[in-house]
Amino acid sequence: MVSVAVARPLVSVFSVEGEGTEGEVALPTVFTAPIRSDVVRSVHTRMALNKRQPYAVSSKAGMQSSAESWGTGRAVARIPRVPGGGTHRAGQGAFGNMCRGGRRFAPTKIWRRWHRKITKNEKRYAVASALAASALTSLVLARGHRIERVSEVPLVIGDQAQTLKKTKSAVALLEKIGAYEDVVKVKESKKLRAGKGKLRNRRYTQRRGPLIIYEKDEGIVKAFRNLPGVELCRVDSLNLLQLAPGGHLGRFCIWTKSAFQKLDEIFGTFTQPSQQKKDYTLPKSILTNCDIGRIINSDEVQSVLRPKVVRKRISIRKKNPLKNKNEMFKLNPYSRVLLKEAREATSKPSQKKQKRLMRRKNKEVKKIGREYYKSIVA
């Protein structure tokens, strides 16, 4: 996303006659308009409805009989039946959608709402977005255009292109600027359409090639129009259906110099309103800085963040302290003392301790014996 605050870059103009470039122009502000694929998509879907021709079944189909229901009591279904006699048709069901020769369910009507109104500002927003997208090589490549050989996007060619008369010279020009591969792509993509469209005058499909935008037709249209996939458009009347075919952003556009320079006049800048469109200034993006990553990692944000709080789970699996000694000790540190007491109360002292106690007892017994002996002897 191109930031609004960027200084206006210069776009080189490729010369039609000689080699290389013949100068530079400043990038019109339209190409820095916010790229709203959602707006483009919704406007495109509505706009694409507007070229439709109504279709409907005949309003009389299936209803051109004087059928009446026989009512109840005749052991037949109550569907309206054709009156009369002497022919197969008599007594047959009519009118219903289930009947042979009856009118269909919900016959299509011509007063279906075929077209959609789109607010002017929305349409202009979509066109501005589509133009901005056409200036990003990644979007143009993603849309499928073969612009690997093209040296610069947006691609601007000198005004002499407007005076081209021969298709041969048109091809030569496209080859020179590296745009002919896109045309080749279109040529090779012509296939039979899948589906019924084949039988409805839409026999072949092919890809879309470059869109050439000019300011004044001095032969350019006739020169380029026979090339497959190449479309031409005047700057004054840019068509969203051409700038974002299928609602997808990033059509490969080739501009003539005067067309390119006229864009500022047609769309204006963010501060200066348009000269051609009444009361219109380019839409502004909600965010001035779309680089969320950069914002998050900036000093201003990072310096006021508190450290990450790691919330430990408040409840872990419960262990029974009456059975699990460690769990009991965790809750009641005195439990080990009690356990020890209980163990000592029930068990005998260890071998070593027993021996020690025996020895002490023996010592005491011996002492008593000695004393007695002494008392006797004394």
Residues near another protein (CB under 8 A) are: 297, 299, 302, 307, 314-316, 318-322, 327-328, 330-335, 337-338
Distance of alpha carbon 188 from alpha carbon 186, whole angstroms = 5
Least separation in angstroms between CB 376 and another protein? 45
Name the minimum Å distance from CB 305 to another protein. 9
Q: Which is nearer to another protein, 117 or 312 (CB)?
A: 312
Nearer to another protein, 302 or 347 (CB): 302
Nearest to another protein of 284, 340 (CB atom): 340
Signed CA dihedral, 352, 358, 362, 368: sign only: positive
Q: Are strands 80-81 and 68-69 parallel, antiparallel or unpaired?
A: antiparallel
One-character DSSP codes across 326-376 = HHHHHH-TTHHHHHHHHHHHHSPPPHHHHHHHHHHHHHHHHHHHHHHHHHH
CB of 331 to another protein, least distance (A): 5
Q: How far apart are CA 343 and CA 2, in angstroms?
A: 79
For residues 186 and 120, give the distance between their C-alpha atoms in angstroms, rounded to a whole number: 33
By beta-carbon proximity to another protein, the closer residue of 322 and 376 is 322
CA dist 119 → 124, 236, 284, 371 (Å): 9, 19, 18, 125
Distance, in Å, from the CA atom of 125 to the CA atom of 247, rounded to the nearest integer, reads 14
Angle, helix 37-48 to helix 120-134, in steps of 10 degrees: 120
Nearer to another protein, 60 or 308 (CB): 308
What's the min distance (Å) between Cβ of 189 and another protein? 46
Phi-psi region of 229 (alpha: psi -120 to 50; beta: other; left: phi over 0): left
Reading the block at residue 12, the tokens are 């080189």
Shortest Å distance, C-beta 324 to another protein: 10
Q: In the complex, what is the shortest distance from the CB of residue 3 to another protein, in angstroms, rounded to a whole number?
A: 19
> Which is nearer to another protein, 308 or 352 (by Cβ)?
308
CB of 321 to another protein, least distance (A): 5
Crossing angle between the packed helical segments 180-188 and 167-177, to the nearest 10 degrees: 110
C-beta of 186: minimal distance to another protein in Å? 45
Closer residue to another protein (CB): 71 or 307: 307
Q: Please, are residues 188 and 209 in contact by the beta-carbon 8 Å criterion? A: no
DSSP for 102-127?
PPPSS---TTS-------HHHHHHHH
Residue closer to another protein (CB basis): 320 or 375: 320
